[in-house]
A and B are shown apart, each in its own frame.
Chain A
Amino acid sequence: MPDVKRVYETTFIVNASLDDHQIDTVIDKVKDLITKNGGEIREFVKWGRKRFAYPIKKKNNGFYVVIEFGAPGDVIAKLERHYFLDESILRYLSLVLDKRALAARTTAALLAAEQPAAEVKPEEAPKAAAPEVAAVQNPAGAPA
């Protein structure tokens, strides 16, 4: 297989009832697996504990981790197998980041960099948008 590297993003949920250092070891295992198989981690974000929208394995909370990495394609299969076998990982999602997604990332990063200038905009946008949807939701049941 030719050594084509792609940019991937993987999100997984660790059992939140474990201790913090136990969670860290679970996360480190995943990171090791990526780096040992010729991948390099570009971004690593711990979201921390979050409430689920619906229970998973009778649990209501989970520890979310997002890793963005560049790697050859065969890493994904190994990674997903690891996720499957590790019982403290409740859910996972791995995606290829295409050009469009990467472009959106860079623009978002640029916006975040010039935050003081752009601060007014994101506040205004949701306010203007919110009443529109509220007004819209009612007719949803009416037609047809």
Chain B
Amino acid sequence: MAYTRNSTSRQGDRRGSSQRGSSGQIRKKRTCRFCDNKEDYVDYKAEKKLQRFVSEQGRIIPKRITGTCAKHQRMLVTAIKRARHLALLPFVSDAVK
């Protein structure tokens, strides 16, 4: 019991201060951009918006990097895949081919 209590309090501390990455850089805590803007639907037609969540090669950027929450990441992924079907976004960008 004592051990678990200790570990949780330690986690709490870490969250309170700025997080450090493996390289020692101080990382800012990211927030979900869709939650911030109170958007409850991700439209596949807004290709410019979706492009932000896709790497230069055309891959979907994981939520641990963009900070998108799980719910919105799910919506985002379906939206990106729909956009790809309609050739609004690439499956693989030309630079990689």
B27, closest chain A residue (CB): A139
- Complexed CA–CA distance, A143 and B33 (Å): 23
With contacts A54-B90, A133-B66, A137-B56 taken as known, whether A93 is within 8 angstroms of B85 at the C-beta atoms is: yes
Residues in B whose Cβ lies below 8 Å from that of A11: 45, 86
Q: Are the CB atoms of B55 and A100 closer together than 8 Å? A: no
Q: Are the CB atoms of B61 and A140 closer together than 8 Å? A: yes
A11-B86, A91-B87, A129-B33 known, 13 other contacts, Cβ within 8 Å: A11-B45, A13-B87, A53-B84, A53-B88, A56-B87, A125-B37, A130-B52, A133-B52, A133-B61, A137-B55, A137-B61, A140-B55, A143-B22
Residues in A whose Cβ lies below 8 Å from that of B30: 132
Give the interface of B toward A (CB within 8 A): 21-22, 30, 33, 37, 39-41, 43-45, 52-53, 55-56, 61-62, 65-66, 82, 84-92
Residues in B whose Cβ lies below 8 Å from that of A137: 55-56, 61, 65
Tally of A-B Cβ pairs under 8 angstroms: 59
Residues in B whose Cβ lies below 8 Å from that of A84: none
- Complexed CA–CA distance, A130 and B22 (Å): 24
Nearest 8 A/B pairs, CB to CB: A104-B41, A52-B87, A53-B90, A101-B41, A53-B87, A133-B52, A100-B41, A136-B65
Q: How large is the interface on A (under 10, 10 to 19, 20 to 34, 35 or more residues)?
A: 20 to 34
Q: Are the CB atoms of B65 and A13 closer together than 8 Å? A: no
Residues in B whose Cβ lies below 8 Å from that of A56: 87
- Residue A79 at the chain B interface, CB threshold 8 Å: no
B37, closest chain A residue (CB): A125
B65, closest chain A residue (CB): A136
Q: Are the CB atoms of A100 and B91 closer together than 8 Å? A: no
For this complex, 10 residue pairs linking A to B, each with C-beta atoms less than 8 Å apart, are A11-B45, A11-B86, A13-B87, A56-B87, A93-B82, A100-B41, A133-B52, A139-B21, A139-B65, A140-B65
